[in-house]
Structure 1
Amino acid sequence: MDMRAFATLAGLALVGATIFTILSFSAAPAPEPTAYAARRETLQERLKRLPGDYRGWAQLASQYVDQARITGDPSYYAKAEDALATAAGLNDRDDAVLTGQAALAAGRHEFAEAARLAERAIDANPYGAAAYGVLADARIQLGDLRGAQSAVDRMMDLRPGVAAFSRASYAAELRGDRDGARRYLELAHDDAWLPADLAYARYYLGELALHSGDLKTATGWYAKALQAYPAYTPALAGQARAAALDGRLTEALDLYDQVVERLPLPQYLIEQGETRIKAGGRPDWTLLRAQRRLFQAAGVRDDLTWAEFEADHGDPAQAVRHARAEYARNPNLVAADALAWALFRAGRPGEALPYAKEATATGWRNPLLSYHRARIERALGRPARVDPGFDPALSALARFS
């Protein structure tokens, strides 16, 4: 799943991976909370002084969700839940509290609940742009692209800016409108002034170039993202991705070592493992499995990651189980593709084809989805073109992070 579906409002609270990571209020990372300490009272200090500040508790919860995303440590979700429980105990109808609850639900991949809570927040305050952002993200994950577009449009009306433009870009991309997606990201870039927002827009301009096969342009955007915000780990991962796809495997592995040291998210660990296999080595999935247990213990339901991993590197039967569970909860394009590929890898291409068609029905020009559908159709004796430039050994690198 694309990181633009899981972003944060600059000034409130970085983004994280994939589909893998986590949704909050806006589009990109803000400065670390400690950056404020020398200039003004910290939020924790304010809450000690004013324990009845329910909006402050909601903001603290937002920061914890962001920290889970920034650090890869899902234990922050429990802290966010506690802060939101305090906020709701003071005022369970406030739109900021409800939006915070929606963001936490989305962080745990409970997108139906996230949408329900975001809609309650909008009922409480129809002019709260942040709630529309959460709603748009949740509806995309639920496969409701029309509803997501409606939420994005409303957000654009209320607060055009980095958060709204980035979501509009993703919506355009899912329709197959790559040029439109690029234009919206350029608008986000033009609107950005915080270094983190600049890094975010430049990173996704790099991702668009990467997935259209333009590795040189992609590498340039990733470098510019890191110039703006050196701590922006997704851009470092982008550099590793581009190097691997360009055949510079030693360089890519050096970069991935830095990435996973900073942020050991499952997406990055899988990319690193596939690059190591491509280089002739053997991956060690120990840390990946440890991360899986941590996320499960924190209440994060991420069957999608494990469906994709098991299909490519493990047990296809387990992949089917995970993919069915994900698709049942969140019937989006990526979940449909994961189920199609899991069924194919389990030797059931006839069952796989309807899901592969569903995954590619909107015109989204995603090289991984196209490759999966072509392989499935070929297995059924149908003519299908497999892109000769696509490297199935590095399939995780073609996923949108």
Structure 2
Amino acid sequence: MVVMERQTERERGRLPEPGRRRSRRGRRVLIGAVAGCAVLGGVLVLLPWDGGDAPPPAPGPAAVARGAVTTGVPAALPDLAALIGDRISHLRAHPLDGASWAVLGAAYVEQGSRTADAANWPKAEKALQTSLKTGAKRNPQALEGLAALAVARRDFPAAKKWGESAVKTAPKRWTAHAVLVDAYTGLGDQEGVGRALDKVLELHPGTPAAGALAAAVYRDRGWREDAAARISDAAAGAEAPAERAAYLEQAGRLAFERGDREEALRFFQEALRTDPDQRAAQAGQGRALAALGRTTDALSAYQAASAKRPGPEYPLELGELYESLGLGQAARVEYDLLRDRVRGAEAAGADGQLLLGRLEADHGDAAEAVRVLRAEWGRQPGTAVADALGWALHRTGADEEALEFAAIATDGDKGGGVRSALHVFHRGMIERSLDRYGPARRHLREALTINPYFSPLRVPEAKRALTELGEPPVEGPPT
């Protein structure tokens, strides 16, 4: 995860106030896309200014996007398209410009993450590898870009390798430490996550970007109030619309996870008003609307998000919403679409095994889900994989082993500190199958307390299971 801090030239005292007289000759103005770009890869260009007392023109879309991607902040899709076109034109004339190859690669990574278009991944990899070949071998921008690409592909071992190389090359580059937070999270390395976050907060304190990253880590640790405070401050402090919308979407997810449907919907709607291309917020809107019982609106929001950001994750949510409404055929269409999209993403180098395993466990071949998820656990043992593998094992009847993984996913001492209603529900259902009725009761109630609306399919199942379990027997004092 990568972020930036913005600051205008006038705030840094480098531009005169509008009312101050300027000479029309011999004056130059300093135009920079972002603060700190001399360190993080942005460019400063000296141009003659002959605009009298008028303020200098604002940076163009390509410059704005370059300032964003070189410091890891979410960029607007039109600006990213402008930057990609600009760098391609530049590189035709200057094919040995390693820094521009790195910028192009980072832009492709950001565009692919925003649009869920896996066709960006091979382009990004080619540009970043070219940057390493044409520029200095110890190229922190390209190394960091390759780490971010690996995170986007869910290849966390590769993300760790490239991220640690970037940190070794440029230890003071805070964005390299930021991408390592994602890499270590995917590998279940909680100590590594803590170290990387501490470095980000040391090198880049008090910024919206650092606050958003801290919020994500605090959420995974179960510190929900701290996470909400951090992301609220980040959204309030962000200046660019795309950046602010990304933080609002993150705030909406946090609100929904704690069961606050109305607040989540407000965050998602504000994110879309701020940046209409924020499709993750549109899917979140569908999630919140479904929880509020506004089913028709929820379906429309999900369908729009899935069409405009054709990643594999939204068909699973939309399919389960259809299934909860008794529309089995429509649900199966979505599940088949998910499989097609996972195949397409994997052809471009992405890892879709976690999502595919979750789908097969609940809506397909549970034995295949176990096979897929065992391999995923062996390669990158994160909390989400532990939960999915435990549930898949339960669906095949291997409940004793399933409980071991469910405990990893829900026990803070084992890394599962996130307060996930779905994870706790899975553990409760596994314990029920093992006739451990007390823990099962406790965990099913906890799931519904964490978020009473966590799944249109699983919430009714949790309530039925609790009814069947009944109240614990009342025993008198021993004789």
Q: Distance in 2 between matches of 1:200 and 1:120?
A: 28
Contact 2:387 2:409 in 1 (8 A): yes
* Larger Rg, first or second structure (1 or 2): 2
State the match for 1:116 in structure 2: 161
Amino acid at match of 1:61: G
Q: 1:148 and 1:82, CA in 2 relative to 1: closer, same or farther beyond 3 A? A: same
Alpha-carbon offset, residue 107 of structure 1: 2.2
CA distance in 1, matches of 2:119, 2:383: 29
Shift of 1:390: 4.9
Match of 1:234 among 275, 280, 285: 280
Q: 1:34 to 1:129 in 2, by over 3 A?
A: closer
Q: 1:50 aligns with which of 89, 94, 100?
A: 94
Q: Distance in 1 between matches of 2:280 and 2:147?
A: 24
Selected match of 2:74 from 28, 33, 51: 28
8 A Cα contact 1:320 1:342, kept in partner: yes
Deviations 1:101-125 (A, max 9, x none): 2122222222112111111111111
Among 172, 197, 205, the alignment partner of 2:243 is 197
Partners of 1:330 and 1:270 in 2: how far apart?
Answer: 22
Q: Quote the Cα distance in structure 2 between the aligned partners of 1:391 and 1:113.
A: 32
Contact 1:302–1:326 (8 Å) recurs in 2? no
1:183-262 alignment, distance < 5 Å:
183-262=229-308
The alignment status of 1:311 with 2:367, answered yes or no, reads: no
Task: Give the superposition deviation at 1:366.
Answer: 0.8
Unaligned runs of 5+ in 2: 6-63, 460-479
Offset of 1:34 from its aligned partner?
6.1
Q: Do structure 1's residue 346 and structure 2's residue 390 form an aligned pair? A: no
TM-score with structure 1 setting the length: 0.89
Give ranges in structure 1 of 5+ residues lacking alignment.
Answer: 1-5, 14-22, 397-401
Q: SS at the partner of 2:435?
A: coil
TM-score (norm 2): 0.75
Residue from 358, 361, 372 that aligns with 2:408? 358
One-letter amino acid of the counterpart of residue 229, structure 1: D
Aligned to 2:39: none
Between the aligned partners of 1:349 and 1:116, the Cα distance in structure 2 is 35
Where does residue 83 of structure 1 map in the other structure?
127
Listed one character per residue, the Cα deviations across residues 222-245 of structure 1 (whole Å, up to 9, x for unaligned) are 111112112211111111001112
Structure 1 CA distance for aligned equivalents of residues 386 and 91 of structure 2: 44
2:172 to 105, 111, 127: 127
Deviation of 1:347 (Å): 0.9
Q: Distance in 1 between matches of 2:457 and 2:273?
A: 27
C-alpha deviation, 1:76, in angstroms:
1.3
Q: Which amino acid aligns with 1:151?
A: A
Contact 1:12 1:59 (C-alpha < 8 Å) held by counterparts: no
How has the CA–CA distance of structure 1 residues 296 and 64 changed in structure 2, closer, same or farther, with 3 Å as cutoff?
same
Cα shift readout 1:173-203 (whole Å, capped 9, x = no counterpart): 1111101111111221132001111111111
Instruction: Report the secondary structure of 2:425's partner residue.
Output: helix
SS of the aligned residue for 1:32 comes to helix
| TM-fit CA distance, 1:136 | 1.0
Following superposition, the deviation at residue 36 of structure 1 comes to 4.8
Q: 1:266 aligns with which of 312, 317, 323?
A: 312
The correspondence for 1:293, drawn from 338, 343, 355, is 343
1:141 pairs with 2:186: yes
Q: 1:342 to 1:70 in 2, by over 3 A?
A: same
Paired residue type of 1:381: D
Contact residue 143 and residue 331 of structure 1 kept, 8 A: yes
| 2: CA distance, partners of 1:289 / 1:232 | 24
Partners of 1:62 and 1:80 within 8 A in 2: yes
Tell which has more relative contact order, 1 or 2 (C-alpha 8 A, sep 6+): 1
CA spacing shift, 1:373–1:381, aligned 2, 3 Å: same
Contact kept? 1:169, 1:184, Cα under 8 Å: yes
- Residue 97 of structure 1: how far off its partner (Å): 1.3
Q: Does 1:68 find its partner at 2:118?
A: no
Q: How far apart in 1 are the matches of 2:378 and 2:210? A: 28
State the alpha-carbon separation in 2 of the partners of residues 307 and 277 from structure 1: 18
- Structure-2 separation of matches of 1:240 and 1:153: 35
Structure 1 residues 102 and 77: alpha-carbon distance in aligned structure 2, compared to 1, 3 A threshold: same
Task: Judge conservation of contact 1:24–1:66 (CA < 8 Å) in 2.
Answer: no
How many residues in Structure 1 have an aligned counterpart in Structure 2? 380
Query: CA shift at 1:219, angstroms?
Result: 0.8
CA distance in 2: counterparts of 1:25 and 1:140, whole angstroms: 21
The alignment-based identity, stated in percent, is 36
- Structure 1 residue identity aligned to 2:94: L
